[in-house]
Amino acid sequence: MPKLSVAVERFPIAGTFAISRGVKTEAVVIVATLEGEGARGRGECVPYARYGESVERALADVETARAALEAGAGRDALQALLAPGAARNALDCALWDFEAKRSGRRVHEIAGLPAPRAVSTAFTLSVGTPEDMATAARRAAARPLLKVKLAGEGDEARLAAVRAAAPAATLIVDANEAWAPHDLERRLEACARAGVALVEQPLPAGRDEALARIARPVPVCADESVHARAGLAALRERYDAVNLKLDKTGGLTEMLACARDARALGFDLFVGCMVASSLAMAPALLVAGEARYVDLDGPLLLARDRPEGLVYEGSQILPAPPALWG
């Protein structure tokens, strides 16, 4: 039977990462490792305060599943042991990796999926002054897809500055719940004028019903409003796409099921991430090949990644090497 070990690791961010809720200078992650029978499987998660998570709470949640996992419980049992969230994600991805290492097969084979292929990721621009965002956009202007963090007041000027600095890039914007219903249509029209391809989570989760009452000139994607399959159907009239993240779904097992159900409901897929190392990105690459948009740039935002991390060729992410995961 496998033995479980858990570690908290810290990765400095290159500069800062700023969204409407605040600024980060490091990524704090939890790594779960299962070892036994000559194999070792790992999974990485990022507890997120917006969802009521903390490192301490996630570690405690992991401990509630320890005995079952060390007695041989698998992925299906884990879904019942823990709710969707960061702790379950680390354990679920560790179970997938452990099975792959123990069996000598890749995770995509075990899951009955096509082999992962190289995909193109968005590159995120932190929110700031229009001048600062324009400077960042000029540095990244050669990248095909830029994700622009917005914050409400002053967003039109920020967006105009980014568009002028990166005229050839496709832009998606992420308001992180910072807009209000009374200015929703005005802000969406500004996005349409700037040629924005997608707007992510403009209104607060649970207070986004206005999206169903307006003509949306730009497709809108749910992020904070959706975590796992249970919430999908209720959002169909409000959103055109859903952002699937391992830390929200609670691992690859639920992410695969959520992607299947989202496609059946007619949503476009967006595969996203928290700011974390390559170990946290690797499982999401199994779904990224099916997504309209991919935002797995977490390692690109770090001052350093894992030595066995993913290979990024510009904005292209190559499939994960077995030494990393899967």
Contact 178, 152 (CB under 8 A): yes
Active-site option among 3, 24, 101, 149: 149
Vertex 197 angle, CA 193 and 198, to 5°: 110
Is 149 considered catalytic here?
Answer: yes
Which residue type is seen at 106?
Answer: R
**Identical fold, 3-111 and 119-317:** no
Which residue type is seen at 39?
Answer: A
The model's pTM:
0.96
- pLDDT for the residue 21: 78
pLDDT at 22 over 90: no
Which residue type is seen at 149?
Answer: K
Condensed to tens digits (0 to 9), the pLDDT of residues 115-143 reads 999 999 999 999 999 999 999 999 999 99
Condensed to tens digits (0 to 9), the pLDDT of residues 219-261 reads 999 999 999 999 899 999 999 999 999 999 999 999 999 999 9
Report d(CA 236, CA 59) in Å as an integer: 34
Token pair 């070990």 is at which residue? Answer: 5
pLDDT above 70 covers a percentage of the chain that reads 100
Report d(CA 133, CA 293) in Å as an integer: 22
pLDDT at 182 over 90: yes
- pLDDT for the residue 232: 95
pLDDT grade for 189, boundaries at 50, 70 and 90 = very high
Report d(CA 285, CA 319) in Å as an integer: 7
Condensed to tens digits (0 to 9), the pLDDT of residues 46-69 reads 999 999 999 999 999 999 999 999
Sign of the C-alpha dihedral computed for residues 171, 176, 181 and 182 taken in this order: negative
pLDDT at 20 over 80: no
Active-site option among 101, 147, 245, 248: 245
DSSP letter (8 states) at residue 161? H
pLDDT at 154 over 90: yes
Superfamily of domain 119-317: Enolase-like C-terminal domain (3.20.20.120)
User: Both tokens of residue 91?
Assistant: 């354990």
CATH label, 3-111, candidates 3.30.390.10, 3.40.980.10, 3.40.50.2000, 1.10.630.10: 3.30.390.10
Looking at per-residue confidence, does 15 or 308 come out higher? 308
Is 3 considered catalytic here?
Answer: no
The domains of the chain are located at 3-111, 119-317
Beta strands 145-149 and 170-174: pairing type?
A: parallel
Condensed to tens digits (0 to 9), the pLDDT of residues 79-111 reads 999 999 999 999 999 999 999 999 999 999 999
